[in-house]
Chains A and B, each alone.
Chain A
Amino acid sequence: AQTVTQSQPEMSVQEAETVTLSCTYDTSESNYYLFWYKQPPSRQMILVIRQEAYKQQNATENRFSVNFQKAAKSFSLKISDSQLGDTAMYFCAFMKHRGSQGNLIFGKGTKLSVKP
């Protein structure tokens, strides 16, 4: 069975600084997706960034980038130039690749506070 672990329940960062959220996972699959979802207070989860395990290049989306270390089963999220609107719960999630019905396995989340 797959598991996802986020070891930082809460983090804070000053506006405009950089923060890294950690995520590790365990799987015997060789091909899979990894995701970071953001959940602002009282809002729906939205996808921040996605990584396909067979791609060695780390995914980036504007100020968001990942450090994907497949051998170490690590998938950290770096937020550069943090903004107040980045304040949210961040969930790391795993999904098996093809053949999967799309069942996401989530970590417990990291609550990020961006301070002015």
Chain B
Amino acid sequence: EPEVTQTPSHQVTQMGQEVILRCVPISNHLYFYWYRQILGQKVEFLVSFYNNEISEKSEIFDDQFSVERPDGSNFTLKIRSTKLEDSAMYFCASRETRDTGELFFGEGSRLTVL
């Protein structure tokens, strides 16, 4: 069964460093998402991406964050200068079309900022 894959599964970084989290969505999906979950808190929407551009973003997704789909398969989330409060589990998700409600999630990338 096709699935969303994410790398790395866990990354530890120093505050101020740049981090790139990678995702390979399901191949025929058109809509891509990043969510995050700070430990003990709810899963929060960060950004949605369609047709090679951001379609919606939350107030969490500030100038420190960026997304791109550089090669038509990978979907990346970049954090330019990490802060302690960026420590969280980051989930990538994809969806086939706008009319099917289901999002398929990856296993997540745990980011620890020291």
Which residues from chain A sit less than 8 Å from chain B, CB to CB? 33, 35, 37, 42-47, 50, 52, 91, 95, 98, 100-109
Contacts and interface: CB of A to CB of B under 8 A. Distances in A.
Contacts of A106: 42-44
Q: Which of A33, A42, A52, A102 has the most CB of B within 10 A?
A: A102
A44 B106 CA distance: 5
Nearest to A106: B43
B103 A104 contact: yes
B107 A43 contact: yes
22 contacts: A33-B101, A35-B102, A37-B105, A43-B107, A44-B108, A45-B43, A47-B103, A91-B42, A100-B98, A101-B56, A101-B98, A102-B48, A102-B95, A103-B33, A103-B48, A103-B56, A104-B35, A104-B43, A104-B45, A108-B41, A108-B42, A109-B43
A101 B105 contact: no
A31 B45 CA distance: 20
Given A44-B108, A45-B105, A98-B99, A91 B33 contact: no
A48 B50 CA distance: 25
Q: Which of A98, A103, A105, A106 has the most CB of B within 10 A?
A: A103
A33 to B, nearest CB: 4
Contacts of B101: 33, 35, 50, 52, 95, 102
Contacts of B45: 103-105
B20 interface: no
Given A47-B103, A102-B98, A106-B43, 19 more contacts: A33-B101, A35-B101, A37-B105, A44-B91, A44-B105, A44-B106, A47-B104, A95-B101, A98-B98, A98-B99, A100-B98, A101-B31, A101-B55, A101-B56, A102-B31, A102-B101, A103-B33, A103-B48, A106-B44
Contact of A44 (B4, B33, B42): B4
